[in-house]
Structure 1
Amino acid sequence: MAKLMLFSILLVFPLLVSGQKCEGAKVKEKVYSTSDAVTSSQTVFSVEFKLDCKNNAKNLFLNADVNGYQMPVGRTGDNQYQVSWLEEHSAAKAGQYDVKIFDEEGFSAMRKAQRDGKTDSKPLVTIPVIHKGVSSGVWVRTEVVVTGASLFVWYMAYRAKSNIQA
């Protein structure tokens, strides 16, 4: 009896542990990238998204590929995920970054295709991130403008006083 129970557990266990596959994926995403270089030392890219699958696959293990760099995707809630990365301001050029999201099976196929020198792997979904570049701030700082205006007011008051006394 115990052998039969052990055999059934060993037979069913792989079915319970195997990764789910998302079919007919749809995403709702929120994207963010740093726009001000004065207050930060690096450019941050962050993509939060909700993934809905036609086959109701839930809480998948996902990976992302951005410009050839692979990274894990964090799960923040039920079917809600986040992926983020940093780049130096000089390397984070303005333009579109495609975040390719892969499930476990797709990620394995993509890695195998890379090893074989191919680039035809199909992601589960691709999320475009439009980065407008970073601004290094205003050309003239506020302190300089205020100091100049104060000196001008002081000069005009001193000149008016000299004209009155003369």
Structure 2
Amino acid sequence: MIKKLQNHKLEISKQMHSLFQLSYAVEAKLLDAVDFPPLKRPIESYQESKTTFYGYLEHGVLAGIIEISHSQNHTRINSLVVSPMYFRRGIGGTLLEFVFDAFDSAVFVVETGANNKPATQLYKSLGFKEIEQWETDFGIRKVRFEKRVD
């Protein structure tokens, strides 16, 4: 089941923070990152965020989260995380498909670490095309993908 998360509530933001920490710790290892900014995101950042969060719940457990920003015809996927206990069950794809269906956008945009093979393969499998790659100030090569809907 997918539902909108009430991120302004402290208990919900704590659950979100915990899931993000678990997932981003795995990504940091995939990227060989010593300094990984997403792991430094505080709970208050979730509570005060103006972005929209949707959670994938399996038997009442928060197993995945997608964070988006939506404007008139553009949707940015700010983050997509899945608990390591729920990897390879299709949750990331299900959350992305939910966003594609829920938001009438001409363009969907997402970024990830270039060496995050599970994420890059998922995005490509769902019709995203690589737009650019660049080096960050903290030593991680990133990639931006776009999916255009005609």
Same fold (TM over 0.5): no
Structure index of larger Rg: 1
TM-score under structure 1 length normalisation: 0.21
TM-score, scaled relative to structure 2: 0.22
